[in-house]
Amino acid sequence: MKKNIYSVLKGTFLVSDDSFKNWRVILFISGLAIVMIASSHSADKKVYDIARLTNEVKEMRSAFVDGRSRLMRLKMESAIVVKMKEKGLEPSVEPPKKIKVKSQN
């Protein structure tokens, strides 16, 4: 048991005659570790992208709501009357009259 521990600590298992199988296992485990790290980085990048896009959606939604409320204020009759007074137009004092057309058939 002691001999195996000293062999691992000194690294003689990597330079002995049958060390090729040990190197294969070490390289395989190293490759798996690199793939796992790359996958983790990719997942983190996607999480950050999702958070950024969520913030953009919230900003655009608030801009849409703000624009819609400004449009509603501009479409109000009182706002239109004020704008038209600046141009010299005033609302009619007389109510509109219906025009009836009788067909000649």
Q: Are 73 and 79 in contact (CB under 8 A)?
A: yes
Domain boundaries, the chain: 2-86
Q: Residue 15 has what pLDDT?
A: 76
Q: Residue 54 has what pLDDT?
A: 98
Tens of pLDDT, residue by residue over 7-62, are 777 777 777 777 777 788 889 999 999 999 999 999 999 999 999 999 999 999 99
How far apart, in whole angstroms, are the C-alpha atoms of residue 33 and residue 45?
18
